[in-house]
């Protein structure tokens, strides 16, 4: 039986003027900090003491500008230093000292041989979602075609990045929109979100080498089968409740978050309903018992922002019965 929780009347927790594509929401328990990005506007946002002070907590923001005039910021990564976060930018992995306007690139995507040999392909790509391996050694990040290019499977990919060694390895080529990446509690499998295929793949994971076996992948979650009333229910950003092996997935265009038991194939256990005025749920993360959800505006272009709640950040209270933990592992940076 699927449990339905109705939050359709909830009001936005925060809405930034001009918000386009809010994404990548991440929680850091060390400073009770919530982070998220606006991919299209190339911004990183942070609120400290969010559980205690809510929307009144200290808000910080930085706008990233890359080599091509405008940048994209797809995802943030926590590090072993609570005041430093890394992010997926247009040209590579950047570093931001939170609360300042200081940032720089620490590893560039052209360190990957397969991308360096095709500069035009590299130019077309932008960062999307990703995650840090549990041991803190690597970033796995998906790259996809930027907003001014048609989405092509031949361009998109997933790369594995070591900040300490400065290496970028191709681990999954030709995936149109590679999205969220997660591991089960025992790290036997990695779960790869393939948005345009409406699928999450399960792949065997080798903890010793931090590598996946793409050739033994299984189609583990089929989102069309659980969203038959929607034309294109694309799985977007998500968060893993590691203790209970539950995956919380924002499903684009459906105004809902779905929760799956990842120990069983295609096992939907819960649906969380968002306001119908914000169908483009883009990402979510747990902060203790609460769930934060980012959304996108209906207009993701340079045209005027459409009125409404699209682009807002929502806080859904008492969704889970969890103790607070950070939503990503801490990345080793030296």
CA distance 319 to 287: 10
User: What share of the chain has pLDDT > 90, as a percent?
Assistant: 85
pTM of the model: 0.97
Domains defined along the chain, listed by start: 3-316 (2.120.10.30)
CA distance 264 to 276: 30
Question: Is residue 205 a contact partner of residue 188, using CB atoms and an 8 Å limit?
Answer: yes
Q: What does residue 293 show for φ and ψ, rounded to 5 degrees?
A: -130, 125
Chain center to CA of 170: 19
236 is catalytic: yes
- Summarize pLDDT for 134-152 with one digit per residue, the tens: 999 999 999 999 998 888 7
Q: Is 52 annotated as a binding residue?
A: no
- Summarize pLDDT for 291-304 with one digit per residue, the tens: 999 999 887 887 87
Q: Is 145 annotated as a binding residue?
A: no
Tokens of 147: 């907003």
Give, for all 334 residues of the chain, the pLDDT tens digit.
999 999 999 999 999 888 999 999 999 999 999 999 999 999 999 999 999 888 888 899 999 986 665 688 999 999 999 999 999 999 999 999 999 999 999 999 999 999 999 999 999 999 999 999 999 999 999 999 999 888 877 899 999 999 999 999 999 999 999 999 999 999 999 999 999 999 999 999 999 999 999 999 999 999 999 999 999 999 999 999 999 999 999 999 999 999 999 999 999 999 999 999 888 999 999 999 999 999 998 878 878 777 778 899 999 999 998 899 999 999 999 8
Catalytic choice (28, 71, 146, 236): 236
Q: Is 303 annotated as a binding residue?
A: no
């Amino acid at each position: 039986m699927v449990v339905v929780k109705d939050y359709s009347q909830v009001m936005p927790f925060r809405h930034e003027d001009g918000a386009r594509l809010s994404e990548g929401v991440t929680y850091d328990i060390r400073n009770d900090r919530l982070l998220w990005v606006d991919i299209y506007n190339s911004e990183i946002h942070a609120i400290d003491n969010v559980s205690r002070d809510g929307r009144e907590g200290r808000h910080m923001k930085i706008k990233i500008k890359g080599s091509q005039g405008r940048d994209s910021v797809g995802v943030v990564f926590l590090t072993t230093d609570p005041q430093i976060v890394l992010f997926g930018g247009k040209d590579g992995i950047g570093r931001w000292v939170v609360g300042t306007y200081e940032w720089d690139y620490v590893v560039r995507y052209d360190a990957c041989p397969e991308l360096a040999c095709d500069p035009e392909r590299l130019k077309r790509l932008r960062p999307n979602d990703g995650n840090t391996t549990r041991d803190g050694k690597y970033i796995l990040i998906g790259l996809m075609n930027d907003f001014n290019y048609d989405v092509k499977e031949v361009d998109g990919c997933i790369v594995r990045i070591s900040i300490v060694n400065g290496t970028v390895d191709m681990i999954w080529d030709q995936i149109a929109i590679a999205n969220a990446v997660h591991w089960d509690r025992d790290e036997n499998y990695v779960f790869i979100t393939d948005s345009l295929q409406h699928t999450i793949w399960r792949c065997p994971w080798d903890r010793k080498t931090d590598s996946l076996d793409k050739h033994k992948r299984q189609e583990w979650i089929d989102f069309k089968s659980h969203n038959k009333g929607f034309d294109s229910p694309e799985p977007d950003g998500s968060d893993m409740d590691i203790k209970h092996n539950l995956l919380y997935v924002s499903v684009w265009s459906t105004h809902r978050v779905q929760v799956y038991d990842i120990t069983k194939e295609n096992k939907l256990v819960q649906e969380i309903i968002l306001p119908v005025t914000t169908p483009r749920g883009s990402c979510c993360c747990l902060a203790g018992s609460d769930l934060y959800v980012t959304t996108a505006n209906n207009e993701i272009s340079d045209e005027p922002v459409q009125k409404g709640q699209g682009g807002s950040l929502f806080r859904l209270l008492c969704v889970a019965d969890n103790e607070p933990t950070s939503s990503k592992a801490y990345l080793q940076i030296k």
